[in-house]
Amino acid sequence: MERPTEPGLLKLFRYFAIIGALYFFARWVYETSIADNQMIISQTVFFILVHAFLLVYLLIPWLEHQLKHYYLPIILVVYTVAMVVGSTLYLYVPNRTIIDFITNSYSLVPILIVPLVFIAWQYDRKHVLTYTIFTNVSDIAIAVVIAQGISLENLPILSMPIIRGFAFVMVGFVVNQLSDSSRRQKHRLLLANVQLSQYSNTLEHLAISRERNRLARELHDTTAHTLSGISVNLEALKTIAPDDNPEMQEMISTTLETARRGLSETRRALKDLRAQPLEDLGLELALRQLIDSVAERAGFKTNVNVDSPLPYLAPNVEQVFYRIAQETLENVSRHANAYMVLAELHEEDGKLTMLIRDDGRGFNMNDVKDEGHFGLKGMHERALTIGAELTIESQPGRGTSVRLSWERF
């Protein structure tokens, strides 16, 4: 019974409660005008109160919020029991006959069949059978009591609730079959939309990869060559510079070191642009390789805990997780001065969570918000492209924690 309530079902149930109350009110008006049997009238009043209670229950959103997936089953059970109890009131009608009871019982069919349709649409066949058996077996028991036993004379009449039960089962099974077919079609349509989205993301990823390679070639032919030429010229200048001018020597050495560092960073950036670790290694190994590479360069220790194997992920999802991990580790390398970095990637109940935490110097989150940190802003924008949630927590002197959570559709 934990299946989500079908859209529009509660709204239809409210309409049914109103119509049911009006139906029995009309019966009450009719019975009070022609009948002198107070018990029959009392039975009708009881049914009016049942439907009034049903309507009030269905109009209280707080109950739905509190009871969650038990909200609909509870009222279905209560309503079914109440209708059966209402039928037993016929036992107290004086001068009752089996024919009158069967007639009265069949007058409830339009009311009882609507909850049957709701149950068949929302739940499986065993719930349809339970409802059918409960509502019809009780009528058989009441009929046997009124007839004072079973005989060949009253057997055809006693079989009427059985025929009604058979009709209930057939209606319930047909509705249940239609409901299951509708759910399967929705599921297939959803899968088709997901596959189409993944295909679109793959094409987009391919276009981005080509553009990254083009940028890498252009940067290599311009910036990297320029910095390399500057370094060579500075080496030559350092050689011919007079030894008796230490200030010039120091300035040349500093500039040369800056140029070399810039060239090294440029080459590393070009390597990152060209690299396709996700395509070659997959997210798990690519993350491990990335963490080891940055840790070796920055000199911090690592504690890596990644699920193996990871479930299948769309390329755009893998790309977002990898790039956010890359940006986070680069921030740790440049700014954190950390000794230990913890990296985790786990999936639980369809929710993939990545956590990267360091014990570095940390920073004030309010300062970052005021100044506008483009790196962190870019990470948030990346997360939003796949509907993921990115949480960054940091305090001066207490390190930084970056958590990325994405729930599988």
Q: Looking at the domain assignment, is residue 208 inside a domain? A: no
Average pLDDT over residues 295-301: 90
Q: Looking at the domain assignment, is residue 82 inside a domain? A: yes
Q: Is the pLDDT of residue 78 over 90?
A: yes
C-alpha gyration radius of the chain: 37
The residue among 299 and 264 whose pLDDT is bigger is: 299
Residue of 390, 211, 386 lying closest to 313 (CA atoms): 386
Average pLDDT over residues 321-344: 91
Q: Looking at the domain assignment, is residue 202 inside a domain? A: no
Quickly state the pLDDT bin for 1 (edges 50, 70, 90): very low
Question: pLDDT (tens digit, 9 = 90+) per residue, 56-68?
Answer: 999 998 998 888 8
Compute the distance between CA of residue 241 and CA of residue 237 in angstroms, rounded to an integer: 6
**Structure tokens, 36:** 């002198």
**Which of 127, 158, 189 is a domain's end point?**
158
Would you state the pLDDT for residue 218?
Answer: 76
pTM above 0.85, yes or no: no
Residue of 312, 314, 321 lying closest to 286 (CA atoms): 321
Average pLDDT over residues 304-329: 88
Question: Residue 94: exposed, middle, or buried by beta-carbon count in 10 A (0-12, 13-18, 19+)?
Answer: exposed
State the pairing for strand pair 389-394/400-407.
antiparallel
Q: Is the pLDDT of residue 357 over 90?
A: yes
Compute the distance between CA of residue 150 and CA of residue 132 in angstroms, rounded to an integer: 22
DSSP state letter for 360: S
Q: Looking at the domain assignment, is residue 358 inside a domain? A: yes
For the chain, the average pLDDT equals 83
Quickly state the pLDDT bin for 153 (edges 50, 70, 90): low
**Structure tokens, 299:** 């000199």
Residues 152 and 14 in one domain: yes
- 334's enclosing H/E stretch is none
| Torsion sign (Cα): 199, 272, 365, 391 | positive
Quickly state the pLDDT bin for 50 (edges 50, 70, 90): very high
Q: Which domain holds residue 300?
A: 278-409
Q: Looking at the domain assignment, is residue 21 inside a domain? A: yes
In whole angstroms, how far apart are CA 396 and each of 30, 330, 361, 366?
A: 80, 18, 6, 11
Whichever domain contains 313, its CATH number is 3.30.565.10
Task: Report the SS3 class of residue 28.
Answer: helix
| Torsion sign (Cα): 291, 297, 298, 303 | positive
Q: What percent of the chain has pLDDT over 70?
A: 87
Q: Looking at the domain assignment, is residue 219 inside a domain? A: no
Q: What percent of the chain has pLDDT over 90?
A: 26
**Structure tokens, 172:** 């319930």
Compute the distance between CA of residue 312 and CA of residue 228 in angstroms, rounded to an integer: 43
**Which of 99, 124, 158 is a domain's end point?**
158
**Which of 123, 141, 158 is a domain's end point?**
158
Would you state the pLDDT for residue 129?
Answer: 92
Domain count, the chain: 2
Q: Looking at the domain assignment, is residue 132 inside a domain? A: yes
